[in-house]
Structure formats: C-alpha cells, structure tokens
C-alpha cells in the first residue's frame, strides 16, 4: 500500500513540475501614481484636489505566455484600472476594465479573445504622443471618436482581434458581436487598421463602425496619420473624422473633423517633454441641425525620471469651447464645465512608480 501511495505522490509531483515547466512566464505588472491637481473653469470657480495620475493612469495586471511548441504560444492578459486616491476600481461594472483576454500567437500573427482595444483603437494609440494613457477626457479627447461612442467605454467587450505582421506592414482586424437574439447589428463593433514602418517613419490608417444597443444608430470613425523619429524627438500628425447617424428618420448626422499634432522630446536621459493639440470641428452636435461648435484640447507634460521605474511629473491641460460645444453634455459632465463656460484649465503635479 505504501509503495502505491509513494508512486502516486511521485506521479503528482512530476505532473506539477511538468506544468510549471510548460508555463514560460507569468508576470505581475502595474503603475501607481498620485499627486495634486488644480482646475479652473469648473462649476463653483476652481478647485484643488487629489490627482490620480493624469499622465498614465493607475493599473495592475497579470500577463503570461506558455510555449506550446513549433513557434506557437498561448497568451493571456488581465488588467484592472483603479484610482490611487481611494483605491476604488475605475469601473463599477468591470474589475478588469483595461484588458481581459486569452489568445494564441505564432508565425501567423496573434489572435486574442475577450475585452480589449479594437483594431482601430490600436492605431489611435500609436498616433497619440502619450499613447492615450491618461484617465481624463481633459487629456484624452479621442475617447469620444476612438472608443465606443455610445457608452464612452475605452474598450470593447467580447472582442475577437487579429494582428499580423508582414515585414514593415502590420494588419489588424476585430469584431465585437452584440449577442442580441434576432438583431445581428445591435451593440456590435467592426474595425480594421493598418500601419507601415520605414526606418523611423510610421504611417497608419484605420476604420471602425459601432451600433448602439438597439441598432437604431451607428457611429463610424476614419483616421490616418504618421509619426517620425528625428533624433531625440518624435513628431505626430493625424486626422480623424467621426460620423454619427441620425436618431430619427430624415434627421441630420453629426459630423466631426479632428486634426491633431504632437511631440515627444527626450531633452536629457532624465527629462522628457510631451505635448499635443486636438482641434474638433463639430456640426450637428446631439444630431441637432445647426448645432455646430469647436473644441480645442491642448496639454503639455514634463517628466523627470528618478530611475527607470520612478518619475516626477508636471502636467498642464486646457480645453476651450465655442458654439454648441459649450453645452455638449458629454464634456459638461466629464469636465464639470460651468454654465456657459468657455475653458477648463488643469495643472497636475505628482509622482509615478511602476513594477
């Protein structure tokens, strides 16, 4: 009997050891930052509060790969965003609000399944000087035209995405089914993206279309642009166009045209500057005929690296509004814009560490 028990224990030990050996890597990673933020132009005048890392946002995650042989790997990612001031998660609906996917990668490319950025958002991130990392609309205006327009969610649930690289060309495609019985369009998203790199120049373009929960409206975005590394600086130039169908028959479509420019400059090995400007020319806001307006978003960030993982930051942002944009509910709510306000200005200072 003891020999049988000993043989069983040896078998279990070998099985566990084999499983550990097969798992190539599992990594815990994340970013935590915080500081002080001053904002002017909000209801009540101005305010001073805690800054939950305006530069990159706070998150932690687990990622892993398993070598399956023949160049094939199993991959996964679980990533949750939170506020460092309170410890609460960013989303009350999704614990892993940034990423929750599993997939396969190999010579054919990569296929991932789950909550993630879609194919067009990948291009938007690549064309943004700060990689669209901030947690605030004040510094990430692209959430309106680059993410889910109807929910303002930066990620898409239930998404199937493919990424393939062929020399300097990278192709992307994704589909997010809505899962609504009897309506194959409700809540869906379809996206395509492509980029090409030649030496230090990268050119990219993307398209996406999203239907609302009842498929009564759609929003689509086209974007294109380029980035160019010139010595210690990288320049960014892009153009996006948003169209939102009418909420009622024969109604007007909302249209936005958004050119943007940006720069990342490595001043010294320890100091980096990042700046950008986005100018949104909008017409028929909320699908109301003649409700036209303008919105100019600018920001500047100065980061001082104490080490490879820890830095101090100083950030400035300004959002200016004119016309119907001064009463746009999305911006009024997200930026706490005072009634008939024209600008919201913010300044943040703090520190970030990553693991």
Dump the DSSP string for 26-42: EEEEEEEEEEEEEEEEE
pLDDT digits (tens, 9 = 90+) for 268-320: 999 999 999 999 999 999 999 999 999 999 999 999 999 999 999 999 999 99
**Structure confidence at residue 290 (pLDDT):** 93
**Structure confidence at residue 275 (pLDDT):** 98
| Distance of alpha carbon 314 from alpha carbon 179, whole angstroms | 44
**Structure confidence at residue 91 (pLDDT):** 84
Per DSSP, helices labelled H in the chain are: 2-22, 119-126, 143-146, 329-335
- Mean pLDDT estimate for the chain: 93
| Distance of alpha carbon 248 from alpha carbon 287, whole angstroms | 9
pLDDT band at 9 (very low <50, low <70, confident <90, very high): very low
CA end-to-end span of the chain, whole Å?
A: 49
pLDDT digits (tens, 9 = 90+) for 81-138: 999 999 999 987 889 999 999 999 999 999 999 999 999 999 999 999 999 999 999 9
**Structure confidence at residue 2 (pLDDT):** 41
Rg for the chain, CA atoms, rounded: 23
Strand partners, 210: 189, 219
| Distance of alpha carbon 304 from alpha carbon 117, whole angstroms | 29
Domain boundaries, the chain: 28-354
pLDDT digits (tens, 9 = 90+) for 129-165: 999 999 999 999 999 999 999 999 999 999 999 999 9
**Structure confidence at residue 286 (pLDDT):** 92
Q: Using alpha carbons, select from 242, 246, 249 the residue that is nearest to residue 124.
A: 242
Is there a contact between 253 and 226 (Cβ–Cβ < 8 Å)? Answer: no
**Structure confidence at residue 14 (pLDDT):** 41
Residue entry with tokens 């680059």: 146
Strand partners, 148: 153
pLDDT band at 249 (very low <50, low <70, confident <90, very high): confident
pLDDT of 18 > 70? The answer is no
pLDDT of 23 > 70? The answer is no
| Distance of alpha carbon 281 from alpha carbon 45, whole angstroms | 27
Residue 75 Cα distances to 71, 78, 108, 130, 172, angstroms: 13, 11, 14, 26, 18
| Mean pLDDT score, 44-59 | 95
**Structure confidence at residue 22 (pLDDT):** 56
Count CA within 13 A, CB hemisphere, residue 140.
Answer: 22
| Mean pLDDT score, 59-83 | 97
pLDDT band at 67 (very low <50, low <70, confident <90, very high): very high
28-354 fold: Porin (2.40.160)
pLDDT band at 220 (very low <50, low <70, confident <90, very high): very high
Is there a contact between 212 and 218 (Cβ–Cβ < 8 Å)? Answer: yes
């Amino acid at each position: 009997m003891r020999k049988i028990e000993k043989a069983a224990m040896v078998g279990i030990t070998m099985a566990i050891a084999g499983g550990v050996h097969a798992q190539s890597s599992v990594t815990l990673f994340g970013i935590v930052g915080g500081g002080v933020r001053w904002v002017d132009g909000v209801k009540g005048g101005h305010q001073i509060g805690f800054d939950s890392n305006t530069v990159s946002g706070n998150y932690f995650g687990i990622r892993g790969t398993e070598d399956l042989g023949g160049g094939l790997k199993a991959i996964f990612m679980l990533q949750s965003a939170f506020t460092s001031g309170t410890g609460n998660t960013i989303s009350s609906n999704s614990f892993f609000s940034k990423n929750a996917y599993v997939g396969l990668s190999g010579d054919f490319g990569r296929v991932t399944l789950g909550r993630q950025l879609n194919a067009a958002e990948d291009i938007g991130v690549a064309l943004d000087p700060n990689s669209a990392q901030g947690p605030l609309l004040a510094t990430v205006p692209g959430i309106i035209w680059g993410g889910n327009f109807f929910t303002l969610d930066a990620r898409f649930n239930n998404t199937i995405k493919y990424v393939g690289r062929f020399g300097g060309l990278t192709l992307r495609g994704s589909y997010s089914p809505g899962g609504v019985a009897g309506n194959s369009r409700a809540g869906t998203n379809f996206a395509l993206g492509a980029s090409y790199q030649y030496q230090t120049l990268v050119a990219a373009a993307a398209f996406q279309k999203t239907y609302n929960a009842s498929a009564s409206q759609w929003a689509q975005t086209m974007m294109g642009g380029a980035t160019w590394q010139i010595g210690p600086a990288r320049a960014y130039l892009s153009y996006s166009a948003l169209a939102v169908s009418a909420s009622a028959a024969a109604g007007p479509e909302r249209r936005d045209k958004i050119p943007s420019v940006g720069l990342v400059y490595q001043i010294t090995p320890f100091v980096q500057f990042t700046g950008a400007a986005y100018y949104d020319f909008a017409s028929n806001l909320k699908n109301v005929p003649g409700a036209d307006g303008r919105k100019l978003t600018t920001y500047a960030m100065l980061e001082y690296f104490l080490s490879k993982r820890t830095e101090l930051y100083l950030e400035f942002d300004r959002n200016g509004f004119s016309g119907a944009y001064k009463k746009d509910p999305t911006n009024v709510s997200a930026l706490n814009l005072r009634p008939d306000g024209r600008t919201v200005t913010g300044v943040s200072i703090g520190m970030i560490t990553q693991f």
